[in-house]
């Protein structure tokens, strides 16, 4: 079974709402994998569920 990915907005970005996070993901913005420290986006066709931390890392939302 594949593990979930937990990512952070890349390049110092942050989002105030889950809708903004999902829009950025679907728009192809880069996110940073919190484990491997590699950049990824929706363009990478990630086979895992992707969870993004936002709002100064206090909230989390599933984008894929």
Predicted local confidence at residue 48, as pLDDT: 85
Q: Read off the pLDDT of each residue in 3-30 and give the average, rounded to a whole number.
A: 95
Residues of the domain holding 13: 5-62
pTM score of the predicted model: 0.89
Q: Please write the tens of the pLDDT for every residue from 32-64.
A: 998 999 999 999 988 889 999 999 999 999 998
**Hey, which residues does 51 pair with through a beta bridge?**
6, 62
Residue 11 is encoded by which pair of tokens? 């390049």
Which residue's entry shows tokens 């086979």?
47
The total domain count for the chain is 1
**Does the pLDDT of residue 2 top 80, yes or no?**
no
Q: Note the pLDDT of residue 38.
A: 95
> What pLDDT score does 45 carry?
86
């Amino acid at each position: 079974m594949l593990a979930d990915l937990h990512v952070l907005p890349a390049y110092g970005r942050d989002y105030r709402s889950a809708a903004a996070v999902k829009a950025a993901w679907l728009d192809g913005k880069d996110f940073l994998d919190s484990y491997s420290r590699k950049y990824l986006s929706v363009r990478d066709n990630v086979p895992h569920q992707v969870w993004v931390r936002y709002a100064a890392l206090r909230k989390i939302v599933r984008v894929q």
